[in-house]
Amino acid sequence: MNVRQLVLSDIEAVESLDHAIRGPDRSKTWDFYIDRVLRTGYLGALPHPPWGCFVAENDDELIGFIVAERQMPTYGLPPGARIVALAVGNEYRRRGVGKALVDKLVEGCRKSGLDNIYSILLDEDDRDASFLESAGFGPANFKVFNREI
């Protein structure tokens, strides 16, 4: 397995994996941010691939990806990175692919001088919470309040 920075020629394979895991197996907190990031690549607006985006491949087959962005110091959060999407093909889960992708993001954060990585989940995302805990994440020291209308 090789983990490397996403390049624009990976977009089609990333979209394919993203679409393959939509539905009941997708995190309830998943949004369409990844589509926005990938469309930016299509527009040729970026001289370099987006920061914090990596892919895992096995024998030239894309088997996973992570999309993260720099988190600005808003809402009282210290600067850091925020994981927006992380996906691993079904047949490659529980083989260290997700952890390798997170480790590559950690390496990128260190090189960029960022000390924190955030991931925001809904309470019912137990599977994703278990994965994040196994990858070294713990509870944050802030509260989120909500008022339904």
pLDDT for 29: 47
Between CA 57 and CA 89 the distance in angstroms is 11
pLDDT in tens, 49-92: 567 889 999 998 999 999 888 877 766 677 888 888 888 998 99
Name the residue among 125, 86, 89 with its Cα closest to residue 103: 86
Per-residue pLDDT band at 44 (split at 50, 70, 90)? low
Structure token pair of residue 87? 């996906």
The pLDDT of 96-114, averaged and rounded, is 94
The structural domains of the chain, ordered by start, are: 2-134 (3.40.630.30)
Count of alpha carbons within 13 angstroms of residue 80, beta-carbon side? 14
> Higher-confidence residue: 98 or 16?
98
Nearest 10 degrees: CA dihedral of 30, 36, 38, 40?
Answer: -160
